[in-house]
Chain A
Amino acid sequence: MTADFALPPTSVALSGRTVLHDVAFTARPGELVAICGPNGAGKSTLLRALAGLLPGTPARDARRVAWLPQGARCAWALTVAQVAALGRIPHRDTADAPVTLALQHCGILALRDQRVDRISGGEARRAMLARVFATEPEVLLLDEPTADLDPAAAHAVMQLLRRTAETGRVVVVVLHAIELATRHAHRMVVLRDGRIIADLPPAAALPAAAAAFGLRVGRDSAERLLPPDDDASRR
C-alpha cells in the first residue's frame, strides 16, 4: 500500500446530537495511530466514519479495510478458528494459511478448536482480533483491542500492532489507556467533544491528552498522569 488512508472533513450527527464536528483524518502507511480522549469524545464514531459504516462517509473495500468494534461478541459458540475464518468472507475464500497465521500472531493457535464461549474473555478478545488479521487488510481499525487483556497481553498486542504497521499498513487504535498509546503508537490523536484537539507524537501530545482527560502530567515522570488535586505530587 502506498497511498495515504484519509477521511475528508466529516461531521456526524447521531439521533440529533452532533458527535463529530468537521473532523478530518489522514494516516500514512507504516503508522500506528492511537485515538484517545474522554468517554463520549467521539472516538468510536470517528473509527466508524473511517470504516465507512456511517451515512455520508466514504465506503471502504472490505478486503482492504477491516474494523473491530468495541466489545465485539459472537452470537454463536463458534470455535476460535471459525471466528478467525470469518475474516476471509470479504475474499470469498476459505484459505487456511492466513487464518493460521492470524491465530499465531495473536498467540491463540493452541486454542484453535476451542469454542469461544469456553475460553477466557481476553482469549476471546484475541480471537476477534485474529479475525481482523485473517482478512490481511491494508488498514486495521481497532476499537479498544486491549480491553479485557492483562497488562502483559495488552503490551504484546500493542507490539504486534506496531510491527504490523511497520510492514507498510495503517493501524488506527482507539485506546482508553493513555500509557499504552504513549509507549507504542507513532502518533496520538486526542479527541474532545467531537473535535480533534491534538494530533502529535505521543510525548508531545501528553499534556493535551492529560488536559482532555482532566488530568495533569506529573513533574517527576513524563508518563505519569495525576488527578488535578493529587497531594502526593505536590510534596
Chain B
Amino acid sequence: MIRALVLLLAGLLVLSLLVGDGILATPDRLILLQIRLPRTVLAALVGGGLGLSGAVLQGALRNPLADPGLLGITGTAGLGAAVAFYWGLAQGFAPALPMGGLLGAGIGAAVLLTFAGRAPSGPSVILAGVAVSAIAAALLALALTLAPNPFALAEITFWLLGGLADRSLLHVALAAPPILLGGIVLLRLGPGLDALSLGEETAASLGVPVSRTLHLAALGTALAAGAGAAVAGGIGFVGLVVPHLLRPWLGERPGALLPASALAGAALLLAADLLVRVAPLVLPLSQAPPLGVLTALLGAPFVVAIARKAAP
C-alpha cells in the first residue's frame, strides 16, 4: 500500500511539473523552476501536512470527523494572514502574508491548549477547537468589515478560498521547515494514538503520557497544517477525507495510518491542483477555480457518506 502510494505520488509530481497551459508541452526552464516547481512542491507539502494532521487528530481525539479545520488552526492561520494583509504589510513585503498566517496558527494552537486545560481529553480539545474556530471566524468577519477598500476585501477573500497559484520558492522556503518539523512530531505519536483508542485512562495505564501526546498532536498540527494554511489559504476536507480513504486498505489502527496519510494527502492535493489547472482548458471557465472550493465540493459529499456509514 505504501509502495503504491509512493508510486502514485511520484507520478503526480511529474505530471504536475509537465501540465501547464498546453498539456504535456515541453516546459520552458524558467516556467518549470519559478512557477511549476514551487506549486508542485507546495501542493505535496501542504497536502501531506493536512493528511497527516487529520490522521493524528482523528486518532488522538477518537473522532472520525476531526481535522485541522475543526480545531480552528486553519481559521486562526487565515485570520493572521488577513491581519498582516490589512496592516499593509503584504504590499511592501511579500512574505508578510504567510508569516502572518504562521503566527496566527501558532497563537491559535496556544489558545487551543489553554482552553483545553492542563489535563486535556478528546472532548475538551474538540470543544476548545470549536471555540477557537468561532473566535477566529468572528474576528475574520470583523477584519473583512473593516477592509480599507473593496480591492483589499476582494483580494483577501480570494486568498482565504485557498489555492497554490502564483506561489514562489520563497513560499516553499517559508512553509517547508514548519511542515517537515510538524510532520516529524506527528509521525512519532503512533503508539500513543494506538493506546488512546482504548480511552485516555487506559492509555495512561499503559504508560502513555496522555496530556503530552495531546499537546504534541496540537503542536504538530499547528506546524504541519498551520504552515500549509499560511501559504495556501483555507484548503478544507483533505485532512478529514484522507484517513477515511485509507482505512478500508490499512485497517483502523491509528498508528498504521500515519505515514500513508501523509503520502495520500500529498497525492490528493496534487491531483486536486492538477484538476484546478486543467479545468479552464476543458470547461467554459474564465479562470481556474480556487483549490479550496474544489476540495470542499469533493469533500462535502464524502462527509455525508461517512455519516451514512456510521449510522446504525
B184-214 contact mask (Cβ, 8 Å, vs A): 1 or 0: 0000000100111111011011111000000
Partner of B194, one of A48, A67, A89: A89
Smallest beta-carbon distance A171→chain B, Å: 16
A82 & B62 in contact (Cβ 8 Å cutoff): no
List residues of B (243-266) whose CB comes within 8 Å of A's CBs: 251-254
Min CB gap A49→B, angstroms:
12
Report the Cα distance A73→B199, complex, angstroms: 8
Minimum CB–CB distance from B194 to chain A (whole Å) comes to 6
A75 in the interface (beta carbon within 8 A): yes
Q: A53 near B205 (CB under 8 angstroms)?
A: yes
Do the beta carbons of B202 and A89 come within 8 Å of each other? no
Contact A89 B253 (CB under 8 A): no
Q: Is there an interface contact between B202 and A69, defined as CB atoms closer than 8 Å?
A: yes
Closest to B252 in A: A76
CB-defined contacts of A214 to chain B, threshold 8 Å: none
Give the size range of A's interface with the partner: 20 to 34
B191, closest chain A residue (CB): A89
Q: Which of A24-76 contact B (CB under 8 A)?
A: 48, 51, 53, 61-63, 65-67, 69, 72-76
In the complex, the chain A residue whose C-beta lies closest to that of B203 is A89
Q: Is the pair B197, A89 in contact by a Cβ cutoff of 8 Å?
A: no
A86 within 8 A of B: yes
Check if A74 sits within 8 Å of B201, measured CB to CB.
no
- Chain B: minimal CB distance from A178 (Å): 27
Please name the residue on chain B nearest to A68 by beta carbon. Answer: B202
Given A67-B202, A90-B207, A75:B62 Cβ within 8 A: yes
Cβ contact within 8 Å between B251 and A79: yes
The reply to whether B251 and A86 form a contact with Cβ atoms under 8 Å apart is: no
Q: How far is the CB of B258 from chain A (nearest CB, A)?
A: 14
Q: For A135, what are the chain B residues with a Cβ–Cβ distance below 8 Å?
A: 206
Pairwise interchain contact A53-B201, C-beta atoms closer than 8 A: yes
Partner of B195, one of A63, A66, A89: A89
Distance in angstroms between the alpha carbons of A53 and B199 in the assembled complex: 13
Q: Are B198 and A72 in contact (CB under 8 A)?
A: yes
- A78 near B197 with CB under 8 A, answer yes
Closest chain A residue to B256 by CB distance? A82
A234 within 8 A of B: no
10 pairs of A and B residues whose beta carbons are closest in the complex? A62-B207, A75-B62, A76-B252, A67-B205, A90-B207, A75-B197, A77-B252, A89-B206, A76-B197, A89-B195
19 CB-based A-B contacts, threshold 8 Å? A53-B201, A62-B207, A63-B207, A69-B199, A69-B202, A74-B197, A75-B62, A75-B197, A75-B199, A76-B197, A76-B253, A77-B251, A86-B197, A89-B194, A90-B206, A92-B191, A115-B252, A128-B198, A131-B198
